[in-house]
Amino acid sequence: WELVAPTSKHTPIARRSATLSTVSLSDSARPVGLLMFGGLDGESFRNDAWLFDTCTAAWMMLLPHTAQSADASVRPDGRAGHSAITRNSSLKVVIFGGTTGGSFLNDALSFSVRTCQWTRNECAGASPSPRYR
């Protein structure tokens, strides 16, 4: 193991129960980045997204933490204890479930690393029960 010191001036605040997924930063299938989403910072459930470039050791904020907006944009609620997987050659990350502190979730959303946009995924058939890991 080797401690990697970030080279960027801005870094994510400390948190727990976030997800970290390997992603590609180009059309190459080789993962060279880590996408961090959500987590609990001790006071609030986060919905920010950060990218860590493993080649340069730099963090980049992709989406800041915000309250759920009333506009048409799709944005997950702040959450912790959710699950995440990488798909489509590491260009998309899908999150599922978690907790907002007051309830458990069973929603699924996809994040495109290319466009920095969220898409709500609809379940075919019966949805899994809400859960928190």
Gap between the Cα atoms of 53 and 34, Å rounded: 7
| Per-residue pLDDT, 122 | 86
Could you tell me which residue, 119 or 25, shows the higher pLDDT? 119
Q: Is the pLDDT of residue 9 over 90?
A: yes
pTM: 0.89
Confidence of residue 29 (pLDDT cuts 50, 70, 90): low
Q: Is the pLDDT of residue 25 over 80?
A: no
Gap between the Cα atoms of 109 and 120, Å rounded: 4
* Average pLDDT of the chain to the nearest whole number: 89
Q: How many CB atoms lie within 10 A of CB 60?
A: 13
Gap between the Cα atoms of 26 and 16, Å rounded: 28
Confidence of residue 45 (pLDDT cuts 50, 70, 90): very high
Q: Are 23 and 2 in contact (CB under 8 A)?
A: no
Nearest to 20 by CA among 59, 60, 43, 51: 51
Q: Is the pLDDT of residue 70 over 80?
A: no
